[in-house]
Every structure is written in structure tokens, then in C-alpha cells.
Amino acid sequence: MLLFRCLARAFLFASVALALTISHPQVTRGSINLSFGDLTIKSGSFWSIFDNNISIFKGDIRVKKNAGLFITSTNKLIGLKVELYAGKGSIKNEGLIVFNSLVSLTPSFYKLIGKSFTNKGEIFLISSGCALPTAALLAPKWKNTGSITFYQAKRNNGIVSLGSPGSKIENKGQICLFNQLYKQTTRIVGSGCITADQDSSVFFSNCLMDIDRKQTVYLADSKSSVRAVAIAKPRTFRIAGFGNGNKIGLDLPLFKLLSSPFSYNSRTGILSLRIKGNWGQDFDIGLGYDSRLFKVTTDTSLGLLSVPWGAVKYEGPVPNKQIPSNCRPCKPFPPAPTTTTTTKACSPKSTTSLTTSKTSSPKPTTTSTTSNAQTTITTTWTGTTTRTITETDTPGGTDTVIVEEPTTSNTQ
């Protein structure tokens, strides 16, 4: 009896301690159960998973430098569901993580709840934007020094959630939003940057929490907006790229009985929005704005409660076009490797490189191909660097070779 109990305990322990280490390039297609425990992807290797409807992780997810974890849907009926259950593990990424559900007509669901979250590499969470997708990277200890991109092909009522409500996120790196709404619910520390592009919004919904004065929201297009909840002791938010119709607003209508609900200080570059007394928020938009070009308007961005006359827009161009030094460019997402056919590079450095032929590569930026010609697309992947070579061979004509390097590390 005792022996049986000991055996049972040993067995239980064994099943808890299960872990998987990927040390070679690996491609998996179709359903796979990922609830095995800890996952480590070693440097120089990757795991590219296709059409796994439901991916539930129940352990640490560690992606090392020059390693990649890809989960991709190639079926419009498969909206990826990728989850890490609360209390089951931590996320530590130094390489590349790409979850791509761009082709699916059903909503994607990305919800990773870690004991801690650390990103030094690159993460891309990609969605078609159909129905109501979820994108959440949650952890009480949350730190980003790399880049995290939330991409949707179209805007909807879904929100991006980071950290864990009431705690803090540390962003010293880059967060990129495309057709997304990020709703802040935590303290934000660090001098990083949040870039809002292609109709994205940043909503500071809990302004009683400290938000680092150096954290920058960069409005990269003309449709993106910022909103902050009005409070009695206004904070100052650093905003770059404001102009061309971008909106900055509050959660209440901008209406003041005897004075203007907004003012711009041309000496400090601060735009102040006030609703009553000193209630409101301040936005450090920079110098050079023409006070006559600010207009009160309504921000009707999807996912945000529409507040009539709750925002101010600037009708002129952005006076200072320089991208702040703490904001890094948002990169297009890399295609997932489809085969493990490796070709050893004949260079003195022993880098493991991988050549794959791919059939489709949905990317935010696409290159056009010539009809009636033989086009070969080769993707070489060396850790976090993806090199795409498009060779167009026109019979009897000239050959065109387009080399694209969408994920070369930036030089900041």
C-alpha cells in the first residue's frame, strides 16, 4: 500500500515536471496538445505550428535569443486561441514570438497570464480583426525592453490589455498598435514608447495610477487618438506626432461656462483640457502649434464610449515631424517558417540559417508581383532576422530580385 502510494506520488511528480525543449527547427501541422508543461526554445531553433485551433500552455514559455515560436492559422475557419493559464508559468522572450490569425474569419483569442512577463525580443500578436478578438499579456510583474506589436487588419471593439489591473507595467521598449485600442489599467513606468498607427487609440482609463512622464504616445497616422479620464489633479502625458486631425480627449464633454475648455501654452508646448475648475488633463504635445487650429470635436473611435465634444483635434500638420528618440520603428511581422530544410551558410560564423519556400505571407506591407512570370519567394530565417527574397523570372526577359529584410534589428 505504502509502495503504491509512493509510486503514485512519483508518477504525479513526473507528470507535473514535464517539459519540452526545442533545440532543432521544427514544424508541426494540425492539432497538438500544448498543455505539457514548460516550453523552452533554444537559440538557433524554432517551432512553427500551423492550424492548431487551441493552444493552451500550462507552464513557462521561454524563447531564447535567436529562437522563434510561431503559431499560425492558414484556415479561415481557425481563429487561433492561445492561452497561458493563470498561475501556471512565466513568459520570458528574448527571441521572436509570432501568433498569426490574420486569415481567419472567426475571432482570435490571445490571453497569456504569466506569473511574470519579460520581453527583450520581439512579439507579434496578429489578428484579422473579425468579430471581437482578445489580446492580453497579463502578469503582475511585467517588463518590456524589446518590441511588442498588436496588429489587426481592421478596428473593432476589442481591447489590448497589459499587466494586471492595479499593478504596474515597465515599458522601456516599444509597443506598436495597428487598428487597436489599448486600455491602460496599471501604473506605467519607464521611458518607452507606444506607437498608435492605422486608426489606433490609447485610453488612459485609470489616471489615479502613476504614468511615467517620459512614457511617450506617438501618433503615427492621422486617425489615431488619445483619451484620458479627467481628474482633479491633472497629469501630464507626453504625446508626439499630434496633428492632421488626431484627437486628444477626456471621458467627459469639454464644456466650460465662462472660458475655453482647452488652452495651449506655446512656451511649454502643453495642451490643457479642462471641464470644470481644474479638472482635466495636460498633454505635452511639443512646440510650434498654432492655437487657431485646435477645434473641439467628438472621438468616435470603436471600442471607446463616444463622448460628445469630448476631444480636441488639430487641423494643421504636425509641427515637429521628428519621431522621438525613444520611439522605434514598428516593423512588419515576419512570416512563419514552413519547412525545416536548413542550408548551412558558408560563412566563418556558424549561424544556423533556414531556407523555406512559402506559399503566402500576409504582411502589413506587401510587394506586388508580376503576372505571367515565375515568382519564387524564399525566406531565410536566422533567429530574429528574417530575410525574404522574391525572385521573379520572366521567360525571355530579365530577372528581378527583391530582397526584403523586415525584421533586421534597428539601430537606435
Ligand X SMILES: *[C@@H]1O[C@H](CO)[C@@H](O)[C@H](O)[C@H]1NC(C)=O
Judged by the rule CB under 6 A, the positions of this chain that interact with ligand X are 33, 35-36, 53-54, 77-78
Taking the complex as a whole, the smallest distance from the CB of residue 117 to ligand X amounts, in Å, to 23
H/E stretch holding 372 reads none
Pick between residue 6 and residue 56 the one whose CB is nearest to ligand X.
56
Q: What is the DSSP letter of 146?
A: S
Bridge-based pairing of strands 399-404 and 385-393 is antiparallel
CB of 410 to ligand X, least distance (A): 37
CB of 34 to ligand X, least distance (A): 8
CB of 67 to ligand X, least distance (A): 23
Complex with ligand X: residue 102 or 354, whichever CB lies closer: 102
Q: What are phi and psi of 9, to 5 degrees?
A: -65, -40
Surface-to-core class of residue 266, CB atoms within 10 Å of its CB (0-12 exposed, 13-18 middle, 19+ buried): exposed
Residues in the chain: 412
* Residue with smaller CB distance to ligand X, 33 or 350: 33
Three-class HEC string of 233-261: CCCEEEEECCCCCCEEEECCCCCCCCCCC
Under DSSP, is residue 52 helix (H, G, I), strand (E, B) or coil? Answer: coil
Q: Taking the complex as a whole, how short is the minimal distance between the CB of residue 36 and ligand X, in angstroms?
A: 6
By C-beta, is 53 or 342 nearer to ligand X?
53
Output the smallest distance, CB 51 to ligand X, in A. Answer: 8
Spatial contact of 300 and 311, defined as CB atoms under 8 Å apart: no
Cβ distance to ligand X smaller for residue 88 or 328: 88
Residues 227/133/47/115 CA torsion (nearest 10 deg): 60
Rank residues 33 and 322 by Cβ distance to ligand X and give the closer one: 33
In this complex, which beta carbon is closest to ligand X, that of residue 77 or of residue 132?
77
- Compute the least distance from the CB of residue 30 to ligand X, in Å: 10
Encode burial over 332-371: b for 16+ CB neighbours within 10 A, e otherwise: bbbbbbbeeeeeeeeeeeeebbbbbeeeebebbeeeeeee
